[in-house]
Amino acid sequence: MKNTARVLSAALLLASSLCSAAESDTLRYGVEAQYPPFESKAATGELQGLDIDVGNAVCATAKMKCVWVETSFDGLIPALQGRKFDAINSAMNATDQRRQAIDFTTVVYRMPTQLIAKTGSGLEPTTASLKGKNIGVLQGSIQENFAKAHWANAGVNVVPYQDQNQAYTDLKAGRLDGTLVLSAAGQTGFLSKPDGAGYSFAGGPVSDDKILGSGIAFGIRKSDDALKQRLNTAIAKLKADGTIAKFAKKYLGDIDVSAK
């Protein structure tokens, strides 16, 4: 009887630990906090940015408490699958490749991807222009996937970085010829800063909906259908009342982020 009781107790404890976030008062977000204006740290150490404000608003609307768990961008999906947190909220685009591993909420906003290079370099985001060049990308990002799929086999050296700021450092030092980023991240995180003087976007946005995805959304585990519905309901309310548009204006200016 004692052994049976222990087994039942262990089973109940496991079931409790695996309880869906949809039934909880707490929502644990996974975030890589070095990608302004989407997510970064203030001088006080507090998280700030578009995704942070949106995430907190979603929690408030869904009547949940937000908890933020930091990890590297390329570690977000494994950590989600390992139940380190309940949802990825870190400027992650919903792509076909990622949908093989996880699910996504409805799209929260959409953002173009562009190449940054030295002003006057004449570089364009094409294989002909970039052949023999070194192009930095954030490791695990759709920018890495795009560059490897479209450029790497055509003589372009695609260099992944765990931290986008390292790519900017190498660009300034001449070790890179360009870096491919979400346009707002490149503008806020580099071009608008003193270090970005003499650099600019090279050419227009790149396009490939299959790789670049339908837009930025929260990543969730495939089994968390109830949580997905709860988050989708909150996101819909925040879109309808203009909250997401207000946050986008605050951090991104006049960039159109509406999901087409």
237: pLDDT strictly greater than 90: yes
Same domain, yes or no, for 106 and 16?
yes
pLDDT by residue (tens digit) across 19-49? Answer: 555 567 999 999 999 888 999 999 999 999 9
pLDDT of residue 20: 55
> Are 118 and 63 part of one and the same domain?
no
Provide the pLDDT for residue 247.
96
Give a yes or no: residue 98 inside a domain: yes
Eight-class DSSP state of 187: I
In a domain, 192, yes or no: yes
- Residue 1 located in a structural domain: no
- What is the structure's pLDDT at 7? 44
Q: Same domain, yes or no, for 39 and 118?
A: no
Q: Are 110 and 260 in contact (CB under 8 A)?
A: yes
pLDDT band, residue 260 (cuts 50/70/90) = low
Q: pLDDT tens, 155-214? A: 999 999 999 999 999 999 999 999 999 888 899 899 999 999 999 999 999 999 889 988
pLDDT score recorded for residue 209: 86
2 assigned to some structural domain: no
pLDDT at 8: 47
- Domain of 39, CATH number, reads 3.40.190.10
Specify the pLDDT at position 256: 76
Pair 171, 237 in one domain: no
73 plus 88 within the same structural domain: yes
Residue 170 and residue 99 share a domain: no
- Distances, alpha carbon 60 to alpha carbons 26, 55, 178, 222, 257, in Å: 11, 9, 40, 24, 22
Residue 240 pLDDT exceeds 80: yes
**Encoded tokens for 246:** 């207000």
Q: Is residue 55 part of a domain?
A: yes
| 200 and 79, same domain (yes or no) | no
The pLDDT assigned to 221 comes to 98
pLDDT given at position 153: 95
> What is the total count of domains within the chain?
2
Identify whether residues 131 and 173 lie together within a single domain: yes
Burial class (CB in 10 A: 0-12, 13-18, 19+), 33: buried
Residue 246 sits in the same domain as residue 155 = no
At 55-99, the pLDDT tens digits run: 999 999 999 999 999 999 999 999 999 999 999 999 999 999 999
Confidence of residue 253 (pLDDT cuts 50, 70, 90): confident
Give pLDDT, residue 135: 98
* pLDDT for res 257: 82
On whether residue 156 sits in a domain, the answer given is yes
Judgement on whether residues 189 and 137 belong to the same structural domain of the protein: yes
Which structural domain range is residue 75 located in?
11-110+215-252
Considering the domain architecture, whether residues 106 and 137 belong to the same structural domain is answered as no
Helix axes 243-252, 225-240, angle to 10 degrees: 80
- If one counts every other C-beta atom within 10 angstroms of the C-beta of residue 23, the result is 9
- pLDDT value for 49: 96
- Is 134 part of a structural domain of the chain? yes
Amino acid found at 170: D
Same domain, 219 and 105: yes
For 108-133, the pLDDT digits (tens) are 999 889 999 999 999 999 999 999 99
Looking at the chain, the whole-number percentage of residues with pLDDT higher than 70 is 90
Q: How confident is the model at residue 12 (pLDDT cuts 50, 70, 90)?
A: very low
User: What are the structure tokens assigned to 130, written together?
Assistant: 């970039």
Within-domain flag for 3 = no
